[in-house]
Amino acid sequence: GRVFLNKVFHISAEKMFELLFTDSSFTQRFMSIRKITNASLDPWQREDSGNMKRTMNYTIAISNPLIGKCSRATENQTRFKDVPEGHYMVDAEVFTHDVPYHDYFYTQNRYAITCSSRRKCRLRVLTDVKYKKQPWGLVKSFINKNSWSGIEDYFKQLESELLEEEAEMNQGARDA
Ligand code: YK8
């Protein structure tokens, strides 16, 4: 896998979880920046294992002219229960439905939020491109190349939007 985001923010771990994994105004704003539309998300639901699950469906805009302007996608998220108090771990599997070769691969993003103090957390995202069936070598390198660049772009922007959110939050705290 690859790590595209690994950074300490002046945001508590609980707040970071809320920003990224609830229907927060941050999520809504970030989706509109990324031109993610038609988003529907199920609430978190507890499984027998004790882990929590939810599913999101949305349409993503694609800038690659070879592919088409958009694709529907499904994201299955699992929040693991066996983590130390104050830490969060979420696995997100992203399946696209309308891009070429979409039945061959999906993306797995593992988000770890660890608290480093009461007001700080580290957010780390580990990404892997997974194969459901083995494509021809050239196709595989094509999929990898397009996936890594799209994912890198996404997490760069997520990082910069989080930094902006952090600045606003801490500004508000100083004014208060
Ligand atoms: C989530 C990984 C691959 C996919 C895309 C596929 C091209 C295939 C080209 C053929 C378009 C929000 C990506 C980037 C779409 C966006 C996905 C996002 C960013 C010719 C081989 C959507 C995180 C995420 C994970 C995977 C990304 C796709 O929260 O290149």
Q: Helix or strand or coil: residue 24?
A: coil
Ligand 1 pocket, mutate which of 109, 147, 159 (most atoms under 8 A from CB):
147
Instruction: Determine whether the shortest distance from the Cβ of 154 to ligand 1 is under 6 A.
Output: yes
Atom of ligand 1 nearest to the CA of 66: 20
pLDDT computed for residue 162 by the predictor: 98
pLDDT computed for residue 176 by the predictor: 64
pLDDT computed for residue 134 by the predictor: 95
Atom of ligand 1 nearest to the CA of 142: 21
What secondary structure, in 3-state letters, does the chain show? CEEEEEEEECCCHHHHHHHHHCCCHHHHHHHHHCCCEEEEECCCEECCCCCEEEEEEEEEECCCCCCCCEEEEEEEEEECCCCCCCCEEEEEEEEECCCCCCCCEEEEEEEEEEEEECCEEEEEEEEEEEECCCCCHHHHHHHHHHHHHHHHHHHHHHHHHHHHHHHHHHHHHHHC
Report the alpha-carbon distance of residue 33 to residue 29 in Å, rounded. Answer: 6
Radius of gyration over alpha carbons of the chain, in Å? 17
pLDDT computed for residue 109 by the predictor: 98
Instruction: Determine whether the shortest distance from the Cβ of 90 to ligand 1 is under 6 A.
Output: no
pLDDT computed for residue 13 by the predictor: 96
Instruction: Determine whether the shortest distance from the Cβ of 151 to ligand 1 is under 6 A.
Output: yes
Instruction: Determine whether the shortest distance from the Cβ of 5 to ligand 1 is under 6 A.
Output: no
Predicted ipTM of the assembly: 0.97
pLDDT computed for residue 119 by the predictor: 93
- Kindly report the pTM of this predicted structure: 0.95
Question: How far is the centre of ligand 1, averaged over its atoms, from the C-alpha of 176 (Å)?
Answer: 41
Atom of ligand 1 nearest to the CA of 143: 21
Instruction: Determine whether the shortest distance from the Cβ of 146 to ligand 1 is under 6 A.
Output: yes
> Could you report the per-residue pLDDT of 38-74, keeping only the tens digit for each?
999 899 999 999 999 999 999 999 988 878 899 999 9
Atom of ligand 1 nearest to the CA of 102: 8
pLDDT computed for residue 126 by the predictor: 98
Question: How far is the centre of ligand 1, averaged over its atoms, from the C-alpha of 147 (Å)?
Answer: 5
Question: How far is the centre of ligand 1, averaged over its atoms, from the C-alpha of 154 (Å)?
Answer: 9
Please list the ranges in the chain whose pLDDT falls under 50: none
